[in-house]
Structure 1
């Protein structure tokens, strides 16, 4: 167990460093979008391309991994919506609560962490999970978020926005290009390959640092919102209530993400293997550990775009990230 902590501590330490830098003012909040752009549009696509190009094409097209991950993700979404929707939480907030429960921080955190623990062979199942969550899980939750509207036009518009977001996201394209390079056995010219390699090597530290900075920015903005709302209330503005999601609306989703999700993936995988579905032990371990990761930080931006309770989503992301420092090594130790 100590050896596992020695591997995982540097990853969480980088997140903590980004959080401290943003909360302490060393990193201006206005600089965080620039870090996001660098990671999302430059470093991370290069890392995914390299892993995809270096993996055998049959591993990138592993239908067993896609089926097990997809079934588990859909169950998590459905169960989370059913368990959390109430008089305080409508369809919009329930749907994005489900997304933050089912969508791990695979791109920014999962790929480098799992490769460090399990080796390069962990990249292919991880990439499959990223592709499914970006295309299917996100689109499903966005569609569910519109069910509380007065008509179907909101759902159609939301799905159009989701489709545009997928097409504009460089991560699916980098995965596709990596798979094409793997299938065709093509290699990049020397200077281009070196440039891609340098960007890919920057992805892990910058992405982890950015996660911490994004969490700190969410905390700062939430504090400023509460302060401005209190001032407005003191001045008699009844239209500016102080809203903060109670912990009873946060902790159940944290438990689903860090406990129920990996256990469900493990159970579905074992059941599928008992029925004869071919799944290698390494792939099983990888997708269970992907499910044990904290929630994806980009869900907060999606929640804000579609008018959900972004404060609740941000708190879930923060608490899953903090708790995963302890729960993720336990999951690794259990599987090993």
Structure 2
């Protein structure tokens, strides 16, 4: 347990540093927006492309890991939809609030997952999380859009827009480009490798600083059933479910650790954007994201200790 905490402590401290930087005003307003865009469109794509282009897939259980994560996603989505009447009748949680819980449970923060995997597993951890992204990002976008369209009453994006969002997603594009280079056997020039290494080395710390900057601890003064359920099911239920499917599909070792990490990290900041766009409860979504991020500092080490 102590070894797990020691591996994750640097990530926790960098998140705390981001929170302090934002609260002291060293970086403010639109400046954070620029840093986030740099991270999203340049730094993380660099590390994902290089990792996928150079990884030896023959040593990784790609298909079994993908099957594990997809099975966990579909099962949890079905469970959440089945619990929808309970949320409404017991706690009076309406459609828009339900969609924020749904997104909070299903989505995952790739920034944190990559950083945790790098610390806990090493370089192979980054590659394994990149594999998880290939399977998870497209299907999660589609599922969450459909649920928001059904229960939040907002205008759903057209199929063309959903597809455009997927094929213009810099994470997906960089992974697919790296996969193409990997399968082609073409070497990456040493100058390009060095450039990607420099960019990629900034991706994890800058991305995690941005996560800390987005925390709003003042939103957690009155945690209710919607906030607590969206947090507990994500941070405890999802990793347990994913581990169960990992046992079924024979996922072990570093791949199991990467699977647990992907299932244990907080939800993604993009959930807040989608909630605002489609009529979900954006305020609740922000509260869920904050509480999950804070609580995950304790639950991720616990899940890794118990399940890996």
Q: Flag whether TM exceeds 0.5 (same fold).
A: yes
Q: Which residue of 1 aligns with 2:272?
A: 300
Specify whether residues 311 and 185 from structure 1 end up closer, same or farther in structure 2 by C-alpha distance, changes over 3 A only. same
Question: Where do residues 40-79 of structure 1 align in structure 2 (5 Å cutoff)?
Answer: 40-58=40-58, 62-79=62-79
How big is the shift at 1:129? 2.1
Is contact 2:152–2:280 with CA below 8 Å preserved after alignment?
no
Q: Which moved more, 1:51-60 or 1:3-12?
A: 51-60
Is contact 2:152–2:278 with CA below 8 Å preserved after alignment?
no
Specify whether residues 192 and 121 from structure 1 end up closer, same or farther in structure 2 by C-alpha distance, changes over 3 A only. closer
Q: What is the CA RMSD across the aligned residues, in angstroms?
A: 2.5
Q: Which residue of 2 aligns with 1:253?
A: 230
* Rounded Cα–Cα distance in structure 2 between residues aligned with 1:143 and 1:286: 28
* Rounded Cα–Cα distance in structure 2 between residues aligned with 1:69 and 1:142: 19
* Rounded Cα–Cα distance in structure 1 between residues aligned with 2:61 and 2:162: 24
Pick the aligned partner of 2:88 from 77, 86, 89.
Answer: 86
* Rounded Cα–Cα distance in structure 2 between residues aligned with 1:335 and 1:282: 12
Q: Which residue of 2 aligns with 1:334?
A: 306
In the alignment, structure 1 residue 119 sits paired with structure 2 residue 122? yes
In the alignment, structure 1 residue 263 sits paired with structure 2 residue 240? yes
Q: Deviations over 1:208-264 (max 9, x none)?
A: 001111224xx68x79xxxxxxxxxxxxxxxxxxxx996211101111111000000
Q: Deviations over 1:133-163 (max 9, x none)?
A: 320012111012112477xx944x3544332
In the alignment, structure 1 residue 320 sits paired with structure 2 residue 260? no
Pick the aligned partner of 1:283 from 255, 266, 272.
Answer: 255
Three-state SS of the structure 2 residue aligned to 1:250 is: helix
Q: Which residue of 1 aligns with 2:172?
A: 172
Q: Which residue of 2 aligns with 1:239?
A: none
Is contact 1:114–1:122 with CA below 8 Å preserved after alignment?
yes
- How many residues are aligned here? 304
Q: Which runs of 5+ in 2 are unaligned?
A: none
Q: Which moved more, 1:133-142 or 1:61-70?
A: 61-70
Q: Whose radius of gyration is greater, 1 or 2?
A: 1
Q: Which residue of 2 aligns with 1:103?
A: 107
TM-score norm. by structure 1 comes to: 0.82
Higher relative contact order (CA 8 A, sep 6+): 2
Q: Which residue of 2 aligns with 1:231?
A: none
Specify whether residues 181 and 82 from structure 1 end up closer, same or farther in structure 2 by C-alpha distance, changes over 3 A only. same
Is contact 1:76–1:98 with CA below 8 Å preserved after alignment?
no
How big is the shift at 1:64? 1.2
TM-score norm. by structure 2 comes to: 0.89
How big is the shift at 1:271? 2.7
Three-state SS of the structure 1 residue aligned to 2:88 is: coil
* Rounded Cα–Cα distance in structure 1 between residues aligned with 2:264 and 2:247: 17
* Rounded Cα–Cα distance in structure 2 between residues aligned with 1:318 and 1:302: 16
* Rounded Cα–Cα distance in structure 2 between residues aligned with 1:95 and 1:181: 38
* Rounded Cα–Cα distance in structure 1 between residues aligned with 2:155 and 2:235: 32
Three-state SS of the structure 2 residue aligned to 1:215 is: coil
Specify whether residues 245 and 135 from structure 1 end up closer, same or farther in structure 2 by C-alpha distance, changes over 3 A only. farther
Is contact 1:96–1:142 with CA below 8 Å preserved after alignment?
no
